[in-house]
Amino acid sequence: MSPNAIDVIIGTADNALRAVFGSHHASRPRPAPPAASGDAPPLTDSERRLAGALMRVNHVGEVCAQALYTGQALVTRDAQLKSHFEAAAREETDHLAWTRQRLDELGDRTSLLNPLWYAGALGIGIVAGKLAGDRVSLGFVVETERQVERHLDSHLERLPQDDGASRAIVLQMKEDEARHASQAEAAGAATLPLPVRLMMRAAAKVMTTTAHYL
């Protein structure tokens, strides 16, 4: 095995451990709720549990995004596209930090299955980039981010109205994910076949339902 291959393996393992078990530091200030929401009453126990479950799902989504971008960056031969994936992954690190911090505030935890979620998304990123090429790899980004946008919209509807802290984070995440999808489209993303999109939606449904509890 070449020294370069060993370096890639070590770097990939390091990224995985950081994403799943590491302490993340955001490069941007955490989104804050409007000043008027500071007078909101404290959350009830049931509201806190619901907010915690939804933020855990959001945290899982960011773990998967880290893995997807890492896998795609590993296999692309386009230096500009590699930089695009790496930049998007760094921005997703902000989301990891924000959701983890909010989970701690809510007295809740991250998903017990995060290693599994990371491994699956990393595999998708590698396979999409290696076997299907850059345009299809970007297509996976577009479809993934559009799905995340829809999930975040549903979370905004379900989060307690008085949970301004969680809602501010979700709103900023939604804006960032929309931008990632638009950037991938501008970079030449291919439209994925309908069966592939439906399969991705089914897998996402299993993930989000499971992560809500585990």
Q: What is the pLDDT of residue 2?
A: 44
- Is it the case that residue 192 has pLDDT exceeding 70? yes
Q: Which of 180, 209, 189 is nearest to 88 (CA)?
A: 180
The architecture of the domain spanning 43-213 is Up-down Bundle (1.20)
145-181 per-position pLDDT tens digit: 898 899 999 999 999 999 999 999 999 999 999 998 9
Exposure string of 173-187, with b = 16+ CB inside 10 Å and e = fewer, is: bbebbeebbebbbeb
State the amino acid at position 154 in one-letter form: S
Mean pLDDT (whole number) for 179-201: 88
Indicate the pTM of the whole model. Answer: 0.85
**Residue 181, H or E segment:** helix 164-186
